[in-house]
Structure 1
């Protein structure tokens, strides 16, 4: 069973016992009902103390920290990936453009020089 279901069933059982104590006060005698009610109340208080003792207050902090870490990691990865793609595209574009310009310039100069030398 799930712990949440067990806790809710136990709380419901204590509610039924408190109702039984009230019925005993009305039907039997007040002393018996009050004694039973005090017993139920003390048992319920013990149950609540036990439940709170096993509660882990750091649980929520760990869960939130893990959630923030996961989301931040995803966002940073996406941002870095996008930035790197843009940077690489720009660098490749500049490099290719520069290389093409240099190659064309050298080829044209060589062709012009060869043509000029051939005419002379």
Structure 2
């Protein structure tokens, strides 16, 4: 089970850090890649990006370093909430594929949170 948790943590961390860094630091690229970014303020997109980037780091670093490992499930829960809100946002915009991706990431984040509590 520990190996499965590490794999999911690593994949989630990578996905959140990549997506978060694009939203936080490459706004124009994010605007071209994601249709919802055009309808949102730059400040909101940057805030979401920084949150995802820090959340991705917090999925791995605290538990791997043994320094405040309780931060890992907290980060997983926080990212699950972000994905839940993102799924509702995409459903409201009738972007069903985006909502589906959010639900999958939500499920993996919940798996990490439960597994690391």
TM-score, normalised to structure 1, is 0.34
Larger Rg: 1
* Greater fraction of residues in helix: 1
Q: Which has the higher contact order (CA 8 A, sep 6+)?
A: 2
TM-score, normalised to structure 2, is 0.35
